[in-house]
C-alpha cells in the first residue's frame, strides 16, 4: 500500500475524532425523531379531544335551539298553519348555515312543515322517528342518503307537553359544512381531521369533501374502530400511508373524532434541525481539519523539510548546510543529531584537506633540499668539476631525510592513534614525573634556555602511573613548540606543582601566541593556527593532537592559555600515583 503522507495521517486522525461526533449526531437525530413523533401523537390526541368536545357542545346547542323552536310552536296562542311553521323554521336556517333544512313532524310521523319541499311526507320509517317515538328525547342519526340522494345526518328532538309527545323537530345537517363547527387546525397543512359515525362511515373529513357513501367506509383495520367502541387510540402508523394520528370517542354519540398528519411533515422539522447540525458539524470539522492540518502539519512538515533540504545539500557537497531545528521533541532531537553528524563530516573533510595541504607543504621542503643537493652533485659529476664539500652536502641530505622520516613517523603515529580509537597501548609503570620532564628537556638545553621551576614543597619525586616514553614525547613536543614559536632569544619556563591528588605541569613561552578562538582547535589532527603566515617554522599540526591522545589515555588533561604576541602556556594535569 502506498505510504500515507504525514498530513494525510493527521487528517485521518482528526476524522477519527469527528466520526464519533457524527455518529452521536445521528443518535441525536433518532432521539429527535422519537421526540417529534411522541409530541405529534400527544398533539393529535389533544386535537381529536378538542374536536369531540367542540362537536358535542355544538349539538347540545342545536338540541337546545330545537327545544326552543318546538316549544314556541306548541305554546303559541296562535294556531300555526303548515306555511306559518315553514316560514318560521326558515328564519332559523339562516342562523344555522350547517343545517340544510328543518322539519316539524307530528307524533304519527306526518311531516307538517318542511323547509325543503322534496322531503317525504311520512317519516315513520326513518331512524330518528323510531327513536323519538320510542321515548328518546334527542337523537342524532348516522350518515344516510336522503330520498333526494343527498348525504346527511339528522338531529331530532321530541317536543312534549305535559309528558305527551306533541311534535318532532328535525334538523338535517349539511355534512360538508360540519367543518364550520370544528376548531380549525393550524399546525400544518397536511393535517387531516374529521368525524366517523357509529357504522364506521366518515361523516366529515376536511381533506376529502364530496365522497360518495361507499367511499366513506373506514378500513377494517383502522384504529378508529377501537374509538367507536369507546377507546382513545394513538398510532404512529395510522391507516398506513405514512401517517401518524389519533382518534377518540365522541361520548354519547357512539361516534369518533380523528386527526392524522403526514409522518414526513412531522419529521421534517427534526430533519432540518439535524441537517443544519450536521452541516455545522461538518463545517467545523473541515475548518478544524484544515487549520489543524496546516498548523500541526506544518509543525511536523517544516522541520522535516528543513532536515531533508540540509541532507540534500550535504549530499551535493555543501558541508556547511545544517537543519538548525529548535525545540525538544523527537524531530528537533533528530535534527540536532543530524547537525552534529554534519559537523563531524565537515570536520573530517576539513582535517583531510588540511592534512593534504600540510603534508604536501611539509614534504616539499625536505624533498626540494635533497633534490637540490643531488642536482648539484650530478652537474658537477657531468661537467667533471671536482666534488668538494661532500661531507657537508651529505649532512644536509641526511638532515632532510631525517626530517622526512620524522614527518612520516608523526603521520603514522597520528593514524595509529586514530585507528586504535583514541586509546593508546601504554606501558604503564610507577614513574617519576620529574625524571620524565628532565629527560624531555635535555635536547633543548643546549640551544635554548629552558628553565624548570618546581614547587619548593616537592622533593625529588612525583610518582605517577605512566608510560615514560610517551609522556616524555608529550613534554618534548610542548617544549619543541614553545621554542619553535618563540623568538630565538626568549626563555621557556617549565613549572611542576602538586595539587591535591594530581600534578600540574606548565610549559610557558613568550612567543607568537595563539588566537583565542583557535585554542581548542590546536589539539585537533592537522590543525595549525592562522597566525603562522608571517613566520612559519614548519609543522603538520599533529604534535598536539598526539599529546592530547597520550594525556587522555593517562586519564589526565591538557589545555592551553595564550595571548597573541605575548605568549602561550600549556597545562598538563596528571593524577598522582
User: 3-state DSSP call for residue 506?
Assistant: strand
C-alpha cell read off for 213:
357513501
Is the Cβ–Cβ distance between 568 and 509 less than 8 Å? yes
Give the number of other Cβ atoms within 10 Å of residue 40's Cβ: 24
Distance of closest approach, residue 363 Cβ to ligand ADP, in angstroms: 13
Closest CA to 197 of 239, 145, 240, 153: 153
Distance of closest approach, residue 482 Cβ to ligand ADP, in angstroms: 5
Distance CA 453, CA 496 (A): 7
Distance of closest approach, residue 537 Cβ to ligand ADP, in angstroms: 8
Sign of CA dihedral 473, 479, 482, 485: negative
Distances in Å between the Cα of 209 and the Cα atoms of 99, 235, 242, 269, 403 are 17, 24, 21, 29, 129
The secondary structure of 172-200, three-state, reads EEEHHHHHHHCCCCCCCCCCEEEEECCCC
C-alpha cell read off for 497:
606543582
Distance of closest approach, residue 425 Cβ to ligand ADP, in angstroms: 21
Nearer to ligand ADP by Cβ, of 252 and 422: the residue is 422
CB within 8 A of 572, min separation 6: which ones?
A: 474, 475, 478, 504, 505, 506, 507, 551, 556, 557, 558
Distance of closest approach, residue 540 Cβ to ligand ADP, in angstroms: 5
Nearer to ligand ADP by Cβ, of 395 and 520: the residue is 520
H or E element that contains 457: none
Nearer to ligand ADP by Cβ, of 99 and 522: the residue is 522
499 forms bridges with which residues in the sheet? 502
C-alpha cell read off for 95:
342562523
Region of residue 488 (phi > 0: left; psi between -120 and 50: alpha; otherwise: beta) = alpha
Distance of closest approach, residue 543 Cβ to ligand ADP, in angstroms: 3
Nearer to ligand ADP by Cβ, of 103 and 481: the residue is 481
Is the Cβ–Cβ distance between 137 and 157 less than 8 Å? yes
Distance of closest approach, residue 504 Cβ to ligand ADP, in angstroms: 18
Distance CA 498, CA 541 (A): 30
In which order are the strands placed within the sheet that holds 202-205? Answer: 202-205, 192-196, 255-262, 243-250, 233-235
Distance CA 136, CA 129 (A): 10
Distance of closest approach, residue 525 Cβ to ligand ADP, in angstroms: 9
Nearer to ligand ADP by Cβ, of 51 and 560: the residue is 560
Nearest residue to ligand ADP by CB is 539
Region of residue 322 (phi > 0: left; psi between -120 and 50: alpha; otherwise: beta) = beta
For 301-332, letters b (16+ CB in 10 Å) and e give: bebeebbeebeeebeeeebebbbebeeeeebe
Distance of closest approach, residue 518 Cβ to ligand ADP, in angstroms: 8
Nearer to ligand ADP by Cβ, of 66 and 509: the residue is 509
H or E element that contains 298: helix 263-315
DSSP letter assigned to residue 494:
E
Distance of closest approach, residue 561 Cβ to ligand ADP, in angstroms: 11
Distance of closest approach, residue 479 Cβ to ligand ADP, in angstroms: 9
Nearer to ligand ADP by Cβ, of 196 and 540: the residue is 540
Nearer to ligand ADP by Cβ, of 314 and 411: the residue is 411
Distance of closest approach, residue 520 Cβ to ligand ADP, in angstroms: 11
Distance CA 460, CA 496 (A): 11
Nearer to ligand ADP by Cβ, of 290 and 412: the residue is 412
DSSP letter assigned to residue 134:
T
Nearer to ligand ADP by Cβ, of 10 and 482: the residue is 482
Nearer to ligand ADP by Cβ, of 494 and 529: the residue is 529
Taking each helix axis as running N to C, give the angle between helix 390-419 and helix 543-553, from 0 to 180 degrees, rounded to the nearest 10. Answer: 50
Distance of closest approach, residue 312 Cβ to ligand ADP, in angstroms: 35
Nearer to ligand ADP by Cβ, of 194 and 539: the residue is 539
Is the Cβ–Cβ distance between 247 and 236 less than 8 Å? no
Distance of closest approach, residue 314 Cβ to ligand ADP, in angstroms: 28
Nearer to ligand ADP by Cβ, of 179 and 538: the residue is 538
Rg of the chain (C-alpha set):
62
Nearer to ligand ADP by Cβ, of 331 and 492: the residue is 492
DSSP letter assigned to residue 69:
H
Distance of closest approach, residue 494 Cβ to ligand ADP, in angstroms: 12
C-alpha cell read off for 33:
425523531
Nearer to ligand ADP by Cβ, of 82 and 537: the residue is 537
> Rule CB under 6 A: which residues touch ligand ADP?
477, 481-482, 485, 509, 511-514, 522, 527-529, 532, 539-545, 568
Distance CA 302, CA 12 (A): 20
Amino acid at each position: 500500500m502506498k505510504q500515507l503522507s504525514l498530513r494525510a495521517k493527521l487528517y485521518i486522525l482528526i476524522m477519527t475524532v469527528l466520526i464519533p461526533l457524527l455518529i452521536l449526531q445521528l443518535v441525536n437525530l433518532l432521539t429527535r425523531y422519537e421526540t417529534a413523533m411522541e409530541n405529534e401523537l400527544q398533539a393529535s390526541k389533544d386535537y381529536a379531544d378538542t374536536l369531540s368536545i367542540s362537536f358535542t357542545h355544538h349539538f347540545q346547542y342545536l338540541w337546545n335551539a330545537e327545544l326552543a323552536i318546538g316549544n314556541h310552536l306548541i305554546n303559541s296562542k296562535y294556531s300555526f298553519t303548515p306555511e306559518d311553521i315553514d316560514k318560521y323554521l326558515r328564519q332559523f336556517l339562516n342562523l344555522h348555515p350547517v343545517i340544510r333544512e328543518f322539519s316539524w313532524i307530528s307524533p304519527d310521523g306526518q311531516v307538517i312543515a318542511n323547509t325543503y319541499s322534496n322531503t317525504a311526507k311520512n317519516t315513520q320509517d326513518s331512524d330518528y322517528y323510531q327513536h323519538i317515538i320510542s321515548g328518546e328525547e334527542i337523537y342524532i342519526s348516522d350518515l344516510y342518503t336522503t330520498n333526494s340522494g343527498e348525504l346527511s345526518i339528522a338531529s331530532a328532538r321530541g317536543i312534549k307537553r305535559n309528558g305527551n309527545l306533541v311534535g318532532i323537530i328535525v334538523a338535517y345537517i349539511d355534512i360538508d359544512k360540519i367543518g364550520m363547527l370544528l376548531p380549525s387546525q393550524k399546525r400544518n397543512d397536511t393535517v387531516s381531521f374529521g368525524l366517523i359515525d357509529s357504522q364506521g362511515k366518515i361523516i366529515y373529513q376536511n381533506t376529502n369533501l364530496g365522497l360518495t357513501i361507499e367511499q366513506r367506509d373506514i378500513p377494517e383495520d383502522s384504529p378508529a374502530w377501537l374509538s367507536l367502541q369507546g377507546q382513545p387510540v394513538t398510532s404512529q402508523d395510522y391507516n398506513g400511508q405514512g401517517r401518524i394520528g389519533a382518534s377518540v370517542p365522541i361520548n354519547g354519540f357512539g361516534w369518533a373524532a380523528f386527526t392524522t398528519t403526514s409522518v414526513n411533515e412531522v419529521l421534517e422539522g427534526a430533519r432540518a434541525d439535524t441537517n443544519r447540525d450536521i452541516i455545522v458539524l461538518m463545517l467545523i470539522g473541515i475548518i478544524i481539519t484544515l487549520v489543524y492540518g496546516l498548523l500541526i502539519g506544518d509543525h511536523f512538515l517544516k522541520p522535516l523539510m528543513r532536515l531533508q533540504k540540509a541532507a540534500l545539500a550535504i549530499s551535493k557537497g555543501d558541508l556547511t548546510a545544517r537543519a538548525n531545528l529548535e525545540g525538544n521533541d523527537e524531530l528537533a532531537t533528530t535534527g540536532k543529531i543530524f547537525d552534529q553528524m554534519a559537523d563531524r563530516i565537515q570536520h573530517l573533510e576539513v582535517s583531510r584537506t588540511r592534512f593534504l595541504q600540510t603534508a604536501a607543504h611539509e614534504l616539499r621542503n625536505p624533498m626540494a633540499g635533497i633534490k637540490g643537493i643531488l642536482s648539484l652533485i650530478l652537474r658537477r659529476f657531468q661537467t667533471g668539476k671536482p666534488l668538494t664539500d661532500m661531507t657537508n652536502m651529505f649532512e644536509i641530505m641526511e638532515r632532510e631525510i631525517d626530517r622526512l622520516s620524522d614527518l612520516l613517523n608523526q603521520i603514522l603515529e597520528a593514524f595509529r592513534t586514530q585507528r586504535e580509537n583514541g586509546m593508546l597501548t601504554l606501558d604503564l609503570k610507577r614513574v617519576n614525573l620529574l625524571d620524565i620532564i628532565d629527560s624531555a628537556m635535555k635536547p633543548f638545553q643546549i640551544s635554548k634556555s629552558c628553565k624548570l621551576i618546581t614547587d619548593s614543597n616537592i622533593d625529588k619525586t612525583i610518582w605517577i602511573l605512566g608510560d615514560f616514553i610517551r609522556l616524555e614525547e608529550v613534554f618534548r613536543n610542548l617544549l619543541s613548540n614553545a621554542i619553535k614559536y618563540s623568538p630565538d632569544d626568549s626563555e621557556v619556563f617549565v613549572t611542576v606543582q602538586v595539587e591535591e591528588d594530581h600534578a600540574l605541569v606548565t610549559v610557558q613561552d613568550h612567543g607568537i601566541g595563539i588566537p583565542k578562538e583557535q585554542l581548542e582547535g590546536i589539539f585537533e589532527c592537522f590543525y595549525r593556527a592562522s597566525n603562522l603566515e608571517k613566520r612559519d617554522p614548519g609543522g603538520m599540526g599533529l604534535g598536539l593532537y598526539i599529546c592530547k591522545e597520550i594525556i587522555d589515555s593517562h586519564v589526565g588533561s591538557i589545555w592551553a592559555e595564550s595571548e597573541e604576541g605575548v605568549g602561550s602556556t600549556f597545562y598538563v594535569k596528571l593524577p598522582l600515583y
